[in-house]
Structure 1
Amino acid sequence: MNSYVGTTGDGINGAAKYIDDRLKRRLLTSFPRIGHLIYDQSRLVSPEPDHLRTVDIIVTCHNAIDDLKACFHQLSMTTTSINDLILIDDGSEPETAEYIRRFSRIHKTKYIRNEQALGHPTGATKGLEISTGDIVIVLNADTLPTRGWADKILACANADKKIGIVGVLASTASWQSIPRVFDDDGDWALNPVPSDITLSQFASLLERYSTKLYPKLPFINGFCFAIKRKLMDDIGLFDYKTFLHYGEENDYCLRAGKRGWFGAVADDAYVYHKQGKGYTNERRRIYAKRADENLIAKHDAKLISSLAWSCRQSLKMAGLRMWSQAVIERFRLIRKGVRKFGGRRLSFILPAVDGGGVTVILQEALAMSRMGVIVEILNLEAHREGFIKSNNIKNSPIKLRFFNTKGELLKYLQQSSNGIDAVVCTHHATPYWLTELDPSNLDFISAYYVQDYEPDFYPKGAKEHDSAKGSYTVIPDIKGITKTHWNKEMLQKETGFPATVIGPSVDIELFRPVREKNYFKAINRVIIVAMVRPQTPRRAPEMTYKVLKTVAEHFPNQAQVYSFGCTDEELRACVGAPSGRVTHLGALDHKNVATVLGECDIFLDASTFQAMGLTALEAMACGCAVVVPQNGGTIDFAEDKVNSVVVDTTDYVLMVDTVADLIYKQGYREQLQINAIQEAAKYFPEKAAFNILNEIFNLRVENPYIGAQTIR
């Protein structure tokens, strides 16, 4: 690998300013209370919403009567906002033709019959010609829409005036397929709904956990293709003369894109696509090949290839695919957790204000509550204001209890012991607190949740170091729980304390890819960010900032560099005069961290070690290519040169070279980003929460509370 430390740059160009302003605009728009980002709010730019109201639905039909009946039934059960339903019978055989006529007559729909099959594009175009809705959805007959699907498409279309085409998530819809795009043979995946969950349940889960990202794609699959009336007025209808059977939607997307319109996916809407029986597989292959040839003849082949690659590498869609798979697994785990642990009562002793460890406990406690566990946080009154301000716990089922003194907290535990099934210590002081209780009438299980090796926070020989080290063995038989194998090995090696690894966890609802590309206007600047935290020496704040400064100064035309994690004053005290080329965003709360990471391409963690590396895992969930230390627990999820880059973070030149490599090797970086999303999605909080409960209650197989709680 070449060293880039000795090179020089020539200043920041307009593209850098664009990205800098965009990130600040996003932060201010989403979180206007960020006072350290001084910016003229009159210059804020956000998508201008549209105000569409009426929806027409066109269903093109060609034989496959069973698929038709199922589709029409689902339409009647799931569709409320509809102006006109337009049925196009494209040369169906007598039985199917009669069924379509009868359905149209009973339900008073618009109806067109082609005596000979002219192809889907021709039929759809005839439907568009007689439509009147503000938005028109062209729907295949081999589909099963789900509740509210058309309303969700309308909401997506209204989100931005420049959205001209809207698609949905589906079982089989090329780049919109979830949870997989390709099967094991490299063909388009079919993605049947799992046997232990219904179609409506799956769609409801997707809707429940959706954040309505509305990812923009240059190509929208034609099986469910919603078009704005304004776009039709601008570019016309389908080119059905060139694209007789397939490919008309790809041509339409290209024409729309060249006129400045976008295609978007309503990611809270799901339509099951069967890949029906209207055409044989052989005919389908012939038509598809012909459509591809016609598309290349009409449009630039390089543009088509580039845009198809953009669909394949879309970070938002990769996140949605992994998140949709996690939705199913979470549903199963919550259901299993309710049966096994519902009604249990668990208390975390958490005398703290904020921090990564607090965040992890709160998100896992919330996951436990979804399993019917009654969870409470025991804290001190001195921390109340900061704790509530720093953590998003409004309307949470988690019970918060604040006590004026440690003595009051212990008195509560002593008096409530018969109602509490388990007490979990967190900070190294808390196991000592439990030793002050009278053990004669305690009936709860004691556990110690270790998220770091806390003796290393203090100099050897210091009182705090010895106290932290002794906390692991002060209570005989306390159940040890930790996040990573590195932490487990450190505990065993240094103290002999046995701990069970319950695995990393990350809030995959909050931390998601949000960065959007304009596929018809490339912006080639890479966005890099790192946390600089002077109060935590193991995070190597000086080294981190030195690497950021070097990268910013030597690659001004290729990268824009940010830091966060401390105040401006703390940064100056740590590194001296800050670099004018590194934009410091200050001390961000958890939501703002998610916003920043979601806008970035590369996240740098130059820590000397990490017990778990929560911020790096959050960055992976957001679609960043991450650089992490080889020393510590990050190796539980970070695989070098597969989903991250694992390096010796004490080597300054190596760190700069690693970041430079990621800047210049776009394909390598983007593959790391895709793989990072896939890896991070495995660590949803319910998994760690279930493992904690399983470890704590594994000796108490019977559950007297079964049936007392339901999934929330």
Structure 2
Amino acid sequence: AAGLMAAPEDLGTYPPMEAPAAHEWDRLPRALPIADARVVVIVPVYKGRGETLRAIHACLSQPQATPFTLLAVNDRSPDPELTADLAHLAGRGLFHLVENATNLGFVRSVNRALGLRQGRAVVLLNSDAEVFGDWLDRLVAHAEPQTAPQAGSGGEAGMGAGLPVGSVTPLSNNATICSYPRFNANNTMPLEIARPELDRMAAQVNCGRAVPVPTGVGFCMYMTAAALDAVGDLDAEAFGKGYGEENDWCLRAIKAGFVNLLAEDVFVYHAGQISFGLDEGGEYVQGQAALLAKHPDYPARVGQFVQADPGRRGRARLDRARLARHFAGRALLYVTHSWGGGIQRHIDDMIAQARAEGLSVVLLQIDRTRNLEVHVSYRSPEFLYLPNLDSLYLPRDAAELADFVGQLAPVLIHVHSLAGLRWGAARALMDVVAGSGRPYAWTLHDYSPVCHRNHLVQPDGRYCGLAPVAQCRSCLAVDADGFEEPDPGERRAVFGAFLAGAARVFAPSADTAVRIRAVYPDLPVTVRPHLEPERSVRDTSLQRPGRVRRVAVLGAIS
């Protein structure tokens, strides 16, 4: 994607989380006793009144099929107003509250709460994290799929099948290896989509999908009861006030036979560094030293995960869905190669014309490794930060491409070239376009519908004159580069059916139209010369008698 912004940080930052108004607490249900809950949501609290109250309210106000209760731990907060609010709301029966007599730090506060869980699974939820929708049900569906109230489907291959789940972490703007949109980063910039809607989008496009991770991230981490029973609490002796304790626990879980998962169908907002603050005392360095002492393989595990990046396809689905949502019903979709040249020049001219008419253009551009890659073609204030747009491999990803085209609902799909695609991929793409229900057009930039070499020139350099199929078979048989091409009869039949379904077929010249009609006599072809911007051309008349005029014809085919 390209735009006027030099970097995503130029888009600003999310506004701070604000405390709910007093009346917003009135209709919340009373908290279940821990004994009646299936999951205990643990929220350690220190600072950040607005963030803490918003985080607790968001958790309590989202209905779940999973019976849960919330347990807040006030770690001797220095904010008397926050302490009073917590006591008041807990007194109304909205959640459970324990108050530390002295400041214990994050790890010991969590362990105190874990001691009260009564054998239940827990979610560690930071007091600056905001959940949306049926977030907990979706985490449970990954953690305990056999008993989940609404288990998802369609998980990625290789997600630790056969291993019990230890932890599940959702996507978030600020969750290192679980971050979106930019991987392994703190995404402070607001997107064009509201956070609750982004979560709903993740639930839709990544339904039931998860990938194994070397470690969960403690801002919002589901910990199964079985793993807690086997692994135990967080290591307070090694990690003091924090920084590395959840990584240690997850690695211990892996070594005990569990798998940690990233839930790609849940998005939770994380403000970051609010409640327990910035690292002013060097705890991070101490925590990392303790982590390496216990798990010398930790950097290698995380490094290998970052390099492989198995979550990139899930992030790419979200990027494509956001792109389609933003331009739905008001974009042209162009299909073309990435070789540059005359087609690219023509498309650039058409993009300029479309923008002048108030339309945006999205490109499905065939990359040089013979895949299909989605590009945003515009440069305007309508900047979308889409760092994960990835290649789609056809025919494998035909269903995902069809979903994208369906969501985009383009005004017109204009196919300019399929050059560079293997035949199976080209057929899959034609099937997606023809089956989209959207009008589509084709411009005859070359002779690919009738010639596997695209230009009617045989391997020995001779012009074939648009030969009959039998002669094309002979040409294909001696073409060293044609080993993946279909039988010429099949090519002409498939392209003929596809062109017959087009709303318009354009030819840049009457000569091209005449030649293509020799193969497809019933095909209506509209002659439409390419756009040619006006240019001042110097007089080419001969200045002196007897001079010879020489004409140079440019272009690789020439």
- Identify the TM-score tier after normalising by the shorter chain: 0.5 to 0.7
Judge conservation of contact 1:377–1:399 (CA < 8 Å) in 2. Answer: no
Task: Please point out which of 46, 57, 61 is paired with 2:45.
Answer: 61
Q: Which residue of 2 aligns with 1:86?
A: 71
The residue that corresponds to 1:251 in the other structure is 248
Distance (Å, rounded) in 1 between the aligned partners of 2:284 and 2:176: 13
CA contact (8 A) 1:136 1:226 kept: yes
Deviation at 1:325, TM superposition (A): 4.2
User: Residue 287 of structure 2 corresponds to which residue in structure 1?
Assistant: 291
Inter-CA distance 231–371: structure 2 relative to 1 (3 Å threshold) = closer
1:166–1:266 CA contact under 8 A, matched in 2:
yes
Q: Is the 8 A contact 1:366 1:396 kept in 2?
A: no
Cα distance 1:566–1:113, how it changes in 2: closer, same or farther (>3 A)? Answer: farther
1:197 aligns with 2:193: yes
- Structure 1, 170-179 or 312-321: larger mean CA deviation: 312-321
Q: Which amino acid aligns with 1:152?
A: R
1:231-271 deviation per Cα after TM superposition (whole angstroms, max 9, x unaligned): 11112121123222212111101211111211110011111
- Give the structure 2 partner of residue 264 of structure 1: 261
1:316-335 to structure 2, matched below 5 A, reads 316-334=310-328
1:172 to 168, 174, 181: 174
2:520 — aligned with what?
none
Structure 2 CA distance, aligned partners of 1:220 and 1:60?
Answer: 17
Aligned match of 1:131: 117
Q: Could you tell me which residue of structure 2 aligns to residue 77 of structure 1?
A: 61
Bigger RCO of structures 1 and 2 (CA < 8 A, at least 6 apart): 1
Contact kept? 1:56, 1:132, Cα under 8 Å:
no
2:549 aligned residue:
none
Q: Which of 299, 310, 321 matches 1:305? A: 299
TM-aligned CA deviation for residue 296 of structure 1: 2.5
Question: What is the rounded CA distance, in whole Å, between the counterparts of 1:452 and 1:323 in structure 2?
Answer: 34
Instruction: Provide closer, same or farther for how the CA distance between residues 426 and 154 of structure 1 changes in structure 2, counting only shifts above 3 A.
Output: farther
Q: Residue 65 of structure 1 aligns to which amino acid in structure 2?
A: R
Structure 1 CA distance for aligned equivalents of residues 477 and 104 of structure 2 = 71
C-alpha separation between the residues in 1 aligned to 2:405 and 2:250? 45
Match of 1:281, SS state, is coil
Task: Pick closer, same or farther for the CA change 1:219–1:428 going to 2, 3 Å.
Answer: same
Residue of structure 1 equivalent to 2:5: none
Instruction: Give the match's secondary structure for 1:74.
Output: helix
Preserved CA contact (<8 Å) 1:171 1:191: yes
Which amino acid is 1:222 matched to?
A: G
Q: 1:205 to 1:465 in 2, by over 3 A?
A: farther
Please name the residue that 1:239 is paired with: 235
Structure 2 letter corresponding to 1:462: C
CA distance in 1, matches of 2:431, 2:91: 54
8 Å CA contact retained: 2:321, 2:407:
no
Take 2:125 and 2:532, find their aligned partners in 1: how far apart are those partners? 51
Cα separation, 1, equivalents of 2:260 and 2:398: 39
Q: Kindly provide the CA deviation profile for residues 163-212 of structure 1, in whole angstroms up to 9, marking residues without a partner as x.
A: 21111111111111112246xxxxx4233332x32112222222222154
Q: Is the 8 A contact 1:343 1:374 kept in 2?
A: no
CA distance in 1, matches of 2:433, 2:117: 45
Give 1:54 deviation, angstroms.
3.0
- In 1, the alpha carbon distance for the partners of 2:262 and 2:176 equals 12
Pick aligned residue for 2:278 from 278, 281, 287: 281
The answer to whether the Cα contact below 8 Å between 2:167 and 2:221 also exists between their aligned partners in 1 is yes
After the TM superposition, which residues 395-474 of structure 1 pair with which residues of structure 2 at under 5 Å, given as runs? 398-399=436-437, 423-424=441-442, 453-455=454-456, 460-464=462-466
Name the CA shift for 1:105/1:452 in 2 (closer, same or farther; >3 Å).
farther
Contact 2:205/2:317, CA 8 A, preserved across alignment = no
Residue matched to 2:502: none
Q: Which runs of 5+ in 2 are unaligned?
A: 1-36, 146-160, 333-353, 361-370, 373-392, 416-423, 470-475, 488-528, 534-558
Distance 2:399 2:532 in 1: 22
Residue of 289, 309, 327 corresponding to 1:315: 309
Alpha-carbon deviation of 1:329? 3.7
Between 315-324 and 233-242, report the one with greater CA deviation.
Answer: 315-324
Shift of 1:312: 2.1
By how many angstroms is 1:288 displaced? Answer: 1.1
Deviations, residues 75-104 of structure 1 (Å, cap 9, x unaligned): 133341332211111112321112112222
Deviations 1:308-348 (Å, cap 9, x if unpaired)? 2123223213444455444444433336529999999xxxx
Judged with a 3 Å threshold, the aligned counterparts in structure 2 of structure 1 residues 343 and 178 are, in CA distance, closer, same or farther, namely closer
Q: Contact 1:369–1:398 at 8 Å: present in 2 too?
A: yes
CA change 1:259–1:566 in 2 (3 A) is farther
Distance 2:399 2:256 in 1: 47
Given that residues 201 and 321 in structure 2 are in contact (C-alpha distance below 8 angstroms), is that contact kept between their aligned partners in structure 1?
yes
Change (3 A) 1:362 1:239: closer
User: 79, 102, 106: which is aligned to 2:88?
Assistant: 102
Q: Whole-Å Cα distance in 2 between the matches of residues 105 and 89 of structure 1?
A: 14
Change (3 A) 1:250 1:396: farther
Q: CA deviation at 1:397?
A: 6.9
Shift of the 377–364 alpha-carbon distance from structure 1 to 2, 3 Å rule, reads farther
SS of residue paired to 1:67: helix
1:286 partner letter: G
Letter paired with 1:214: A
Opposite residue 261 of structure 1, the aligned amino acid is F
Contact 1:88 1:111 in 2 (8 A): yes
Q: What secondary structure is seen at the aligned counterpart in 2 of 1:316?
A: coil
Deviation larger for 101-110 or 316-325: 316-325
Give the whole-Å Cα distance in 1 for the aligned partners of 2:309 and 2:430.
26
Q: Which stretches in structure 1 are left out of the alignment for 5+ residues?
A: 1-52, 183-187, 345-354, 379-385, 401-419, 433-449, 468-533, 542-564, 571-694, 700-712
Q: By percentage of residues, which structure has more helix?
A: 1
The separation in 1 between residues aligned to 2:531 and 2:55, in whole angstroms, is 47
Bigger CA radius of gyration: 2
Contact 2:38 2:120 in 1 (8 A): yes
For 1:329 and 1:103, how far apart are their aligned partners in 2? Answer: 41
Secondary structure, counterpart of 2:240 in structure 1: coil
Q: What is the TM-score of this pair, normalised by structure 1?
A: 0.44
Q: Residue 510 of structure 2 aligns with which residue?
A: none
8 Å contact from structure 1 (residues 458, 465) kept in 2: no
